[in-house]
């Protein structure tokens, strides 16, 4: 089966989307022709557009940006639509991850992808929305389907099964199997505060609200 996986994270270094691509690959088996494209890093050639449009299934893996789709990926989706290369035999699947704890945050982006799929003339398969995306690299040593990766593992398993069988499935919105309050404290201490410091911000700057005049 010809499968294209499009990683839509704009991050140049390691991203949660890259980890999720690897999780998806681990569930897709070795008997398929899988090609991976990094939208945030590479510019697609005309030939690559055509090769992607020959896929039987396309899996978009990307982060949520302002409740929506990152701009590099959005630009690409518009180009796909303009080129009119897609057709109803291409099944579309998505794995979206976001920063807040709740996977529910991805609902709007999932609807946007469904609308795009309809205008591009392809067939909608299924989407997974995953909360606390920045936590996933910290628990990458835990096997999928176990402990904090239990919900995520089950969701990726279902999506991979549907993709390989070209079936549709209901949206799955998950958060890690980890207490929300614990992740709030941990993420502040090990992720957001150090990230603020790297960007010359003080902790109190994070809480500042911009004033709209």
Ligand X SMILES: Cc1cc2nc3c(=O)[nH]c(=O)nc-3n(C[C@H](O)[C@H](O)[C@H](O)COP(=O)(O)O)c2cc1C
Residue 90 vs 96, nearer CB to ligand X: 96
Structure tokens at 84: 């009119």
| Chain residue whose CB lies nearest ligand X | 133
Residue 135 vs 160, nearer CB to ligand X: 135
Whether 57 contacts 163, CB under 8 Å:
yes
Q: Site residues for ligand X, window 102-121 (CB under 6 A)?
A: 105
Whether 176 contacts 148, CB under 8 Å:
yes
Whether 157 contacts 125, CB under 8 Å:
no
Residue 61, judged by CB atoms within 10 A of its CB (0-12, 13-18, 19+), counts as buried
Under rule CB under 6 A, residue 100 binds ligand X: yes
Q: Site residues for ligand X, window 36-65 (CB under 6 A)?
A: 63-65
Closest to 20 measured CA to CA, from 167, 154, 152:
152
Under rule CB under 6 A, residue 66 binds ligand X: yes
- Closest distance between ligand X and the C-beta of residue 51, in Å? 24
Residue 105 vs 151, nearer CB to ligand X: 105
Under rule CB under 6 A, residue 11 binds ligand X: yes
Under rule CB under 6 A, residue 166 binds ligand X: no
Under rule CB under 6 A, residue 23 binds ligand X: no
Tell me the C-alpha to C-alpha distance, in Å, between residue 101 and each of 116, 129, 150: 26, 11, 15
Residues that bind ligand X (CB under 6 A): 9, 11, 15-17, 63-67, 97-100, 105, 133-134
């Amino acid at each position: 089966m010809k499968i294209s996986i499009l990683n839509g994270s704009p991050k140049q270094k390691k991203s949660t989307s890259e980890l999720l691509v690897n999780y998806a690959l681990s569930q897709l088996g070795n008997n398929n022709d899988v090609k991976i494209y990094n939208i945030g890093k590479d510019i697609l050639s005309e030939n690559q557009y055509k090769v992607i449009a020959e896929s039987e299934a396309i899996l978009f893996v990307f982060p949520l940006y302002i409740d929506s789709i990152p701009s590099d990926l959005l630009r690409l989706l518009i180009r796909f639509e303009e080129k009119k290369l897609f057709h109803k035999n291409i099944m579309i699947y998505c794995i979206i991850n976001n920063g807040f704890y709740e996977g529910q945050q991805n609902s709007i982006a999932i609807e946007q992808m469904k609308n795009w799929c309809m205008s591009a003339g392809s067939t909608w398969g299924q989407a997974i929305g995953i909360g606390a995306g920045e936590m996933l690299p910290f628990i990458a040593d835990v096997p999928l389907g176990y402990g904090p990766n239990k919900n995520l593992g089950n969701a990726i398993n279902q999506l991979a099964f549907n993709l390989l069988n070209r079936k549709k499935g209901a949206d799955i919105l998950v958060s890690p199997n980890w207490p929300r309050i614990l992740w709030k404290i941990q993420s502040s201490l090990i992720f957001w505060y150090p990230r603020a410091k790297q960007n010359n911000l003080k902790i109190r700057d994070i809480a500042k609200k911009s004033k709209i005049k």
